[in-house]
Chains A and B, each alone.
Chain A
Amino acid sequence: MELDKENASQDENEDSKGWTILYGIVVGALAGQIVFYAWLTSVFE
């Protein structure tokens, strides 16, 4: 029983870590795009 609880808690932590990484990728992709668009604007201004 204790072992089940421990495993479930471990799965939840790994799951939560996975989501944090995904949200980080989304924010990183947005920041990357903004920088790229700003660069395009300055180069072709």
Chain B
Amino acid sequence: MSPFDIATLSATLVAIVFFGVWKTRHDRELGEFLKGSSNHWGTIGLSVMATQASAITFLSTPGLAYDSGMAFVQNYFGMPLALILIAVVFVPMYYKLNLCSVYEFLEHRFDAKTRTLGSVIFLIQRGFSAGITIYAPSIILTSVLGWNMNATVIGVGCAVILYTVTGGSHAVSLTHKYQMTVIMTGMAIAFGIVVYKISNHASFVENLNIAGALGRLNIVDLSLDIDKRYTLWSGLLGGFFLSLSYFGTDQSQAQRYMSGQSVRDSRLGLMFNALLKVPMQFMILLLGALVFIFYQWEKPPATFLPETMVQELVDTESDAYRNLENAFEATFETQQTALKDYVAALRSGDEERMEMLKADVEASGAEIREARTDLKRHIADVSGEASMKDSDYVFIHFILNELPTGLIGLLIAVILCAAMSSTASELSALATISTVDFYQHRFVKDRGERHYMKASRIFVAIWGLLAILFALFASMVESLIEAVNIVGSLFYGTVLGLFLAAFFIKRVGAHAAFIAAIIAQLSVLTLYFTNFVEIGYLWYNLIACFLVIVTSLVIQAAIGERKA
């Protein structure tokens, strides 16, 4: 990176951290620290969006579209419907009870032990993922930019701890606004640049035709095949339940929209996301598809893995590697001819010729894909690594090689802002639950606001340091990102089941709900660890949720009517 890029990056990050600390330096109220400061709906909307959008969203999502198209957007189709349900049912109840922790609701509806169960599950899964939120972008940025891994993790972690310890939830909401401004600006500029660059070769619509021919505009899939990962139906149903548990029962999100001035502001903040999240994901995926088109016109590297990483893994001077690289280059030359002929046919309007040349583009695209797969397989075989997926490095490669000086620094700031925004929400939520549900509720009762404020700040620091330690240690563990998703799926369903039973099934009482939750949790863990049935881990969400509801009804029927 040039000194100008480093200056842009440093100025952006330092300004946001300084702003967060400065604006909240006089905050003395516990409510403000834990819940935020009566935010306007616009701030809530941006804060909810910034919490969900981690660095991986901006690094991996364009790479996903590059690799396999835009079908991933379907996963978000259930989200607006879940947000409506949360706005109608969950938000008024949370306001009515004036909650700091969403798990307090479980105590109001059931009992203290059910609340503790919900809080413990949250601390396990969110504590685990806070480390990954720092680790995942750091591993990619350090390998590409040559930064020191430990320094990056500690730097990002300490910056977040600094403003979250100072201003708590209030500082998190304030900084989210500016982080989202940087993120949106950076992504819009990257989008404009890729559109400009591909327009040198063909018009926008002609480029979309090429993307379609090469299978990158496969947005909606109406197939009923349950083996397919992304379809309209799995997106509507699975996306609905996932969003319901994430936005409705996860403190890191609930804390964002509960920081509103009123029910109205919280609802509007959620509807802001219900309207904008799907188009935002669509635009990020379209950016990836356009980067894919750019690399059909301009020769991409045979693999997007950083050069130093490839050199460490294989002998790049060996005959085997050179042959695979040459094979890739030859397929690229063939495809150039096919693309130019196809664009000429599109301009001529000759439909028969268009269809024939489209088939040529498809065939040459398949050859390129095969050549890239062969090379990745070779790297995996020689290095002994299980998978050599390079799609996470596609967008960062484009940024570093195609963007002008100054904008590179801004786009790296986008990635780090995203990492900081989601980590800050997680630390603030973890500290709130530790203080409200455990420290204040179980151990040190009836002390003044200043005491709990101090305790909350200490918990932010403790969770922040644990996240940093985890991120430093994570480099020694394989497939950690997947491990976090699995842990989330193993526990999310139980909590969602408890909340749904609490809201919608009046006849279920405390004992029945608690026993059902334990049974559901143990069943899911047994299913997972014994590998009794081979299913994708996302299904554990639905299984656990279903088990809690059905088992609680059965237990309640067995023990008799619930006492009023």
Instruction: Annotate B547-564 by CB proximity to A: 1 below 8 A, 0 otherwise.
Output: 000000000000000000
Q: Does any Cβ of B come within 8 Å of A8's Cβ?
A: no
State which residues 259-282 of B face A: CB under 8 Å.
267, 271, 274-275, 278-279, 282
Which of B76-84, B159-167, B332-340, B421-429 lies at the binding interface? Answer: B76-84
CA–CA, A33 and B282, complex, Å: 10
**Using Cβ atoms and an 8 Å threshold, which residues of chain B touch A22?**
271
Question: Are A27 and B282 within 8 A (Cβ)?
Answer: no
**Using Cβ atoms and an 8 Å threshold, which residues of chain A touch B73?**
37
CA–CA, A40 and B219, complex, Å: 8
Contact of A44 among B87, B211, B232, B267 (CB under 8 A): B211
State which residues 2-18 of A face B: CB under 8 Å.
none
Q: Does any Cβ of A come within 8 Å of B56's Cβ?
A: no
Number of interface residues of A (CB under 8 A): 17
CA–CA, A38 and B70, complex, Å: 12
**Using Cβ atoms and an 8 Å threshold, which residues of chain B touch A29?**
80, 275
Question: Are A37 and B275 within 8 A (Cβ)?
Answer: no
Question: Are A45 and B217 within 8 A (Cβ)?
Answer: yes
Q: Does any Cβ of A come within 8 Å of B212's Cβ?
A: yes
CA–CA, A29 and B271, complex, Å: 11
Q: Does any Cβ of A come within 8 Å of B152's Cβ?
A: no
**Using Cβ atoms and an 8 Å threshold, which residues of chain B touch A19?**
87-88, 267
Question: Are B208 and A44 within 8 A (Cβ)?
Answer: yes
Instruction: Annotate A22-45 by CB proximity to B: 1 below 8 A, 0 otherwise.
Output: 110111011001100110110111
**A37-B271 contact in complex given A30-B278, A44-B211, C-beta closer than 8 Å:** no
**Using Cβ atoms and an 8 Å threshold, which residues of chain A touch B271?**
22-23, 26
Question: Are B77 and A34 within 8 A (Cβ)?
Answer: yes
**Using Cβ atoms and an 8 Å threshold, which residues of chain A touch B219?**
37-38, 40-41
**A45-B80 contact in complex given A33-B278, A37-B73, A38-B219, C-beta closer than 8 Å:** no
Q: Does any Cβ of A come within 8 Å of B193's Cβ?
A: no
Chain A contact surface mostly:
helix
**Using Cβ atoms and an 8 Å threshold, which residues of chain A touch B220?**
34, 37-38, 41
**A44-B80 contact in complex given A34-B220, A34-B232, C-beta closer than 8 Å:** no
Contact of A30 among B81, B87, B88, B267 (CB under 8 A): B81
CA–CA, A44 and B510, complex, Å: 54
**A37-B282 contact in complex given A27-B81, A44-B209, A44-B212, C-beta closer than 8 Å:** yes
CA–CA, A23 and B271, complex, Å: 8
**Using Cβ atoms and an 8 Å threshold, which residues of chain A touch B282?**
33, 37
Q: A residues bordering B, Cβ < 8 Å?
A: 19, 22-23, 25-27, 29-30, 33-34, 37-38, 40-41, 43-45
Given contacts A19-B88, A38-B220, 20 further A-B contacts (CB under 8 A): A23-B84, A23-B88, A23-B271, A26-B274, A27-B81, A29-B275, A30-B274, A33-B279, A37-B73, A38-B219, A40-B219, A41-B217, A41-B220, A43-B212, A44-B208, A44-B209, A44-B211, A44-B212, A45-B217, A45-B218
Residue pairs across A and B with Cβ atoms less than 8 A apart, 8 shown, are: A19-B267, A23-B271, A26-B275, A29-B275, A37-B73, A41-B219, A41-B221, A44-B212
Q: Which 3 A-B pairs have CB atoms at the shortest separation, nearest pair first?
A: A44-B212, A37-B219, A38-B220
